[in-house]
Amino acid sequence: MKAIGFKNFRKFQEFPDIDLGGINILVGPNNSGKSSLIKALIWASININKSLFWTDDENVNPYLEPAYFTFTDNTTAHYRLGNFNVCVNKDSNSDKIELQIKLDDIAIQGVTIAGSTFILTLERVDENLEIARVSEYTIENKALGFLLSVNCKAKKVNELRFTFNEEVYKNLQYAFYENKLMTDIIKKLYNQSNKEESIFSEDRFQPAYNRTITPPSLTANKSSEKRDIGTLIWQIFQFIKDNFRTQIHYIEAHNAPHTMLINRNDKNDFLAQTLNFYSQLPSAKRTMCEEFAKKWLSKFDVCENFYIKPDETGEAFTVRINSGEHLAQKGTGSIQMFILVLRLATEIAKGRKVMMLIEEPEQNLHPKLQSLLADMFFEVYEKSDGRIQLVVETHSEYLVRKLQVIAAQNIERGSYTTEEVNENIKVMFFPENGCTYSMEFDDYGYFIRDFATGFFDEAGRSYRELVRMERGIK
């Protein structure tokens, strides 16, 4: 995900669009809204993947069908937001929640195609139900020349536009380079256009079927041009759909079970989930996973080796480390790090796009190891070629300061420019009152903006107070 913004969700009446990078560090006082952003990311990603016009039935027009976002999903562990009343901002007079999401750019054949933007308005269905109805949505992809705005409540299209120019033509050719039928249609339509910019509006190619996009099976009797454009629009939607399905995983703090037998079916146990993901890896990828995991588990003083075995029934796991000690015999901090490291190692081995939401990973770690988290997160980002997107909620100054050092080192040796560092690493500060902002690095790793008073300056303030007392200064 490239950016997110929302209105009337939890803490915020308005949370302006904020850009996301490969590594995103959320810092700020308690109750400043960090968790609201985390929950908005979970809520949006899970529901757009599951609910919004995602159907494979070509005889049904999915774009006007009612879509519902759930606040609770028993199939997804730790996704329980309550209901609409809990999630809507308490100070707002509006009875609607709005979300705006910018998807990642797509790389095809060495060419980058900009991602799509989703704007959604959700309304209350019933205060006792754990769902919200999508009343309106807009999807736009300028790189593919496409815009659709739908009023779901009225079951009508507000606007449908396809803009054809040379840049769009090239992007479409790359997007569908493996589909000869589509590349032929694209070329044919481009030759029929004026080559500079042609706007195909809904009244030109889809006057029927409630003024909306329809699957090819519902446009078979249209004229050649209308059928071609209808097919192209349908395929663009399939393209957007296929490139949205990014996995999202949330690793919660305070979840380090001290049990020797781990029930693999327990969806509320992060260790059980992690072991399931690991056990599903093929042998070659498991080797890659173990190489990363052993390296970082050693650095975090957890173990030098580990052994994961199912029990006789196949319904539970045991985890032993080093010479046979049970993982459950280690401290809470070590178990938490085992879960985090193995989950990251598994995702690196899988090689898929995934967003990892990590809550306060520094808990139960001493300062040296908190700093080491920054090194590990940066290696995860580089080793996965940016496919793993990290969003980390933290109060650790050690983690943040080490990221500054990593930024400075990479700028100094020319691995990244300052601009690239600021695109890839985002440290977002959530003030107690006011708008969230990105700190941004200068050429030497220092932050261009300051943290609020009383945040990340407490150690220095206390030290200065001791010096003043020693010198008798009031």
Cα–Cα dist 14/91, whole Å:
11
Task: Please report which confidence band the pLDDT of residue 221 belongs to, taking 50, 70 and 90 as the band edges.
Answer: very low
Distance CA 142, CA 148 (A): 11
Residues 80-114 have pLDDT tens digits of 788 888 888 888 888 899 999 998 888 787 788 88
Q: Kindly give the pairing relationship between strand 388-393 and strand 23-27.
A: parallel
- Give the rounded percent of residues in the chain with a pLDDT score beyond 90: 37
292 CB-near residues (< 8 Å, 6+ apart): 341, 344, 345, 348, 349, 383
Give 206's pLDDT tier (boundaries 50, 70, 90): very low
pLDDT at 207 over 50: no
Q: Is the pLDDT of residue 184 over 50?
A: yes
The structural domains of the chain, with segments of one domain joined by +, span 3-242, 256-352, 353-474
pLDDT digits (tens, 9 = 90+) for 143-170: 988 888 888 888 777 887 778 788 888 9
Please give the average per-residue pLDDT across 65-80, as a whole number.
Answer: 70
**Banded model confidence at residue 418, pLDDT cuts 50, 70, 90:** very high
Question: What is the Cβ-side half-sphere exposure of residue 162, based on CA atoms within 13 angstroms?
Answer: 27
pLDDT value of residue 3? 92
Q: What is the pLDDT of residues 239-292, one digit of tens each?
A: 887 777 667 888 888 677 788 888 888 877 888 888 999 999 999 999 999 999
Query: For strand 117-124 and strand 111-113, is the pairing parallel, antiparallel, or unpaired?
Result: unpaired
pLDDT value at 217 more than 50: no
pLDDT, average across residues 211-223? 44
Tokens representing 193 are 């256009």
List Cβ<8 Å contacts ≥24 apart for 205-209. Answer: 205/229, 205/230, 206/160, 206/230, 209/61
Flag whether pLDDT at 193 surpasses 90.
no
pLDDT given for residue 164 in this prediction: 79
Confidence label for 218 from pLDDT (cuts 50, 70 and 90):
very low
| Residue range 345-391, pLDDT digits in tens | 999 999 888 999 999 999 989 999 999 999 999 999 999 998 999 99
Q: What pLDDT was estimated at residue 195?
A: 60
Higher pLDDT among residues 309 and 240, named by residue: 309
Instruction: Kindly give, in sequence order, each residue whose CB lies less than 8 Å from that of residue 81, ignoring residues fewer than 6 positions away.
Output: 39, 43, 71, 72, 87
Question: In the predicted model, what is the mean pLDDT of the chain?
Answer: 83
Percent of the chain scoring above 70 in pLDDT: 86
- Return the pLDDT at 233: 76
Most confident range (mean pLDDT) of 11-20, 47-56, 209-218 is 11-20
Residue 7 pLDDT greater than 90, yes or no: yes
Per-residue confidence (pLDDT) for residue 76, from 0 to 100: 56
Token duo for residue 67: 């879509």
Nearest-CA neighbor of 395 among 461, 460, 335, 455? 455
pLDDT number for residue 220: 44
Return the residue matching tokens 């054949």: 109
Quick check: 174 pLDDT over 50?
yes
- Give the span between the Cα atoms of 345 and 291, in whole angstroms: 8
Which pLDDT band holds residue 187 (cuts at 50, 70, 90)? confident
Top-ranked range on mean pLDDT: pick from 121-135, 213-227, 368-382, 430-444: 368-382
β pairing state of 12-19 and 3-9:
antiparallel
Two tokens, residue 174: 């790359």
| Of 48-52, 228-232, 296-300, 381-385, minimum mean pLDDT range | 48-52
Confidence label for 51 from pLDDT (cuts 50, 70 and 90)? low
More confident site: 76 or 318: 318
Residue 340 has pLDDT above 90, yes or no: yes
List the single range of 218-222, 287-291, 316-320 with lowest mean pLDDT: 218-222
At residue 267, the pLDDT reads 76
State how far the Cα of 133 lies from the Cα of 469, in Å rounded to an integer.
61
